[in-house]
Amino acid sequence: MIELVPPGIHIDFLGKAKVCITISAIVICIGLVSIVWHKGFNEGIDFSGGLLVQLRFSQEANLSEVRDALGDVGLGRSVVQHFGDAHEVLIRAVQLPGESEQVGTRIHKILQERLPAQTVELRRVEVVGGQVSADLRRQALFALFYAILGTVVYLSGRFEAKWGVAFAQAAVLFVLTYGITQWFPGVSPTVLIVVALVVSTAFGLILDLRYAQAAIIAIYHDVLVTVGFLSLFNKEFDLQIVAALLTIIGYSLNDTIVIFDRIRENMHGQRRASFAQVVNDSVNQTLSRTLLTTGHTLLVVLALFLLGGEVLHDFAFALLVGMISGTYSTVYIAGPVLVYWEAIVARLQAQRFSFGLTRSE
């Protein structure tokens, strides 16, 4: 077996947990401030609706000349920007005039007439109606919601051996969210995700589903960090990004499960050690596997980011940020949350025991 780190290495990961959690909180807050500052995400045509036209010019394109030519088409409010290099131009219009499918051809024809010294190539035309974009946005958020819901159920059964509780929790969440959608038909899936987060956290606290909740908190950390970076760098938020977020959830969960499995194994072999020590030892023991898996995956994603072209650039960027965050959160978020949860439960049990002794006296 390949070992990137020497056997028996002991790094005090938990000793740095408070600093790392603070850094994560700062990064997430900066991302949230950026989202508020930009008044939401830079939604792609999948979610915003409208028209997208991609053109390639034989020479460097002058955006001012392109904007002037678009006045003859009557696009209304539109965005004209370079895409990749100065020869490539992307035109996005929210309001669709008349026969949208023919607008791309009209734009191409007018630009070729207005700029005879250039050769203009029509590369891509995409049209998404307002109703379709709203449905796509809603379905994408529901995909994230059900992915997180399924994760809660699986982890509750997998690590807590409480499959009945896990399915009961899923049933309550499903009935609750279904009821909300029936009572408030226009409710945003974002509200459902927040409701699911609150309810699942309450279940975790009441039923002591510590492993499931630690992993879920790590997943929320990764998603928030990723969307924060997307907002900071003004990346488009479209269906590709949703696919990237679902991939990140699966990747982060897989890494966390490996360490949690080692923690359960070590709990039987290190009965005299404290829980914090067992968690720290487990992270060290799986460190080589984590670095190998992460390193190999990041090489592929980095190649996709650098060589995949502009169409896949934002998707690869989201994967790059999310996978780095997923590895980081497994070590510095999921593990410490598990230890802190154990300490809080032990303290509450001790207080309950001492209160019982006091009453009996």
- The model's pTM is 0.78
User: Is 358 a residue whose pLDDT tops 60?
Assistant: no
More confident call, 304 vs 132: 304
Taking the C-alpha atoms of residue 283 and residue 109, their distance in angstroms, rounded to an integer, is 61
- Residues making up the chain, counted from first to last: 361
110 or 324: which leads in pLDDT: 324
Q: Where residue 296 falls among pLDDT bands split at 50, 70, 90? A: confident
Q: Which residues of 106-132 are buried (b: 16+ CB within 10 A; e: fewer)?
A: bbbebbbeebeebebebeebebbeeee
Q: What is the pLDDT at residue 292?
A: 83
Q: How far apart are CA 158 and CA 212, in angstroms?
A: 9
* 257: phi then psi, degrees, rounded to nearest 5: -60, -40
Residue 189 φ/ψ, nearest 5 degrees: -60, -25
More reliable by pLDDT, 136 or 341: 341
Q: Do domains 50-128 and 132-357 have the same CATH topology?
A: no
- With H, G, I as helix, E, B as strand and everything else as coil, classify residue 291: helix
Mean pLDDT of the chain: 79
pLDDT at 102: 73
Predicted confidence (pLDDT) at residue 2 exceeds the cutoff of 60: no
| pLDDT confidence of residue 352 | 63
Higher pLDDT pick, 8 / 347: 347
- The dotted CATH code for 132-357 is 1.20.1640
Give yes or no for residue 166 having a pLDDT over 60.
yes
pLDDT tens-place string over residues 95-121? 554 555 577 777 788 788 887 778 888
Q: Would you list the domain boundaries of the chain? A: 50-128, 132-357
H-helix or E-strand containing 304? helix 287-307
Residues with Cβ within 8 Å of residue 246, at least 6 apart in sequence:
143, 144, 147
Confidence at residue 285, expressed as pLDDT on a 0 to 100 scale: 87
> What per-residue confidence (pLDDT) applies to 225?
95
Alpha-carbon distance of 126 to 4, in angstroms, equals: 47
Q: Is there a contact between 338 and 222 (Cβ–Cβ < 8 Å)?
A: no
pLDDT score, position 213: 82
Percent of the chain at pLDDT > 90 equals 14
CA separation for the pair 75, 213 (Å, rounded): 49
Q: What dotted CATH number matches 50-128?
A: 3.30.70.3400
